[in-house]
């Protein structure tokens, strides 16, 4: 259950102000079909989280990797994700030239955007370290939906309602701090 709560918290923080949140709002304004965009988001998220969870779990079952090595793997994922939240702001393709309808554009656009995202590495790392991968999978899907569905519903008003930049900065610091704790624990400096 610890893996569920940790994943839910960290992935929700990691997704706040992320490009997927922005793309969800843009798609919602463009297509004006929130239900279809939410359906596409759910499908893309389930598929991406399943891939990340499976790959992480596969790494976690390798016999030659010690628990400390797996913990260091997770620490690196957390620290890099946190740094990415604080520093990295890549441009977003608005998918304006995509002419495959609401469902196709939303599903493929969100699926492609989520591949290799910081959340995917955190999901994989948490799955590699979890006793029960299913908790990581469920928590990651819920967290991504929790962060992105409000962007579909509230669109550009979300930034007026929620201080996204502040949450992103604080979230990045929290995630980096958690990564440092994992390093110290893996090196047996405490815990």
Our count of domains for the chain comes to 1
The secondary structure of 52-117, three-state, reads HHHHHHHHHCCCCCCHHHHHHHHHHHHHHHHHHHHHCCCCCCCCCCCCCHHHHHHHHHHHHHHCCC
- Higher pLDDT pick, 158 / 19: 19
In a domain, 178, yes or no: yes
Residue 191 pLDDT > 60, yes or no?
Answer: no
In a domain, 54, yes or no: yes
Output the pLDDT for position 40: 97
- The arithmetic mean of pLDDT across residues 9-17, rounded, is 91
pLDDT digit string, tens, across residues 70-109: 899 999 999 999 998 898 677 767 787 888 999 999 999 9
Output the pLDDT for position 140: 97
In a domain, 137, yes or no: yes
pLDDT digit string, tens, across residues 130-181: 989 999 999 999 999 999 999 999 987 877 787 878 888 999 999 999 999 9
Burial tier of 113 (Cβ tally within 10 Å: 0-12, 13-18, 19+): buried
In a domain, 138, yes or no: yes
Phi first, then psi: give them for residue 174, nearest 5 degrees: -60, -45
Domain assignment of residue 127, given as a range: 2-186
In a domain, 84, yes or no: yes
pLDDT digit string, tens, across residues 54-74: 999 998 888 778 888 889 999
Locate 96 and state its tokens: 């304006």
Output the pLDDT for position 96: 79
In a domain, 191, yes or no: no
Q: pLDDT averaged over the chain?
A: 90
Banded model confidence at residue 1, pLDDT cuts 50, 70, 90:
low
């Amino acid at each position: 259950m610890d893996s569920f709560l940790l994943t839910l918290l960290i992935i929700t923080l990691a997704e706040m102000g992320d490009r997927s949140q922005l793309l969800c709002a843009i798609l919602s304004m463009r297509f004006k079909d929130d239900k279809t965009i939410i359906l596409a988001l759910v499908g893309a998220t389930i598929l991406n989280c399943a891939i990340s969870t499976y790959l992480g779990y596969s790494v976690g079952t390798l016999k030659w990797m010690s628990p400390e090595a797996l913990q260091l793997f997770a620490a690196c994922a957390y620290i890099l994700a946190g740094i990415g939240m604080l520093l990295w702001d890549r441009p977003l393709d608005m998918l304006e030239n995509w002419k495959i309808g609401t469902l196709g554009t939303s599903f493929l656009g969100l699926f492609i955007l989520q591949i290799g995202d910081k959340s995917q590495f955190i999901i994989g790392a948490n799955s590699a370290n979890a006793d029960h991968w299913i908790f990581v999978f469920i928590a990651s899907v819920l967290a991504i939906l929790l962060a992105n569905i409000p962007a579909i519903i509230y669109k550009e008003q979300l930034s007026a309602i929620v201080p996204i930049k502040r949450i992103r900065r604080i979230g990045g610091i929290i995630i980096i701090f958690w990564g440092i704790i994992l390093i110290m624990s893996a090196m047996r400096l405490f815990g």
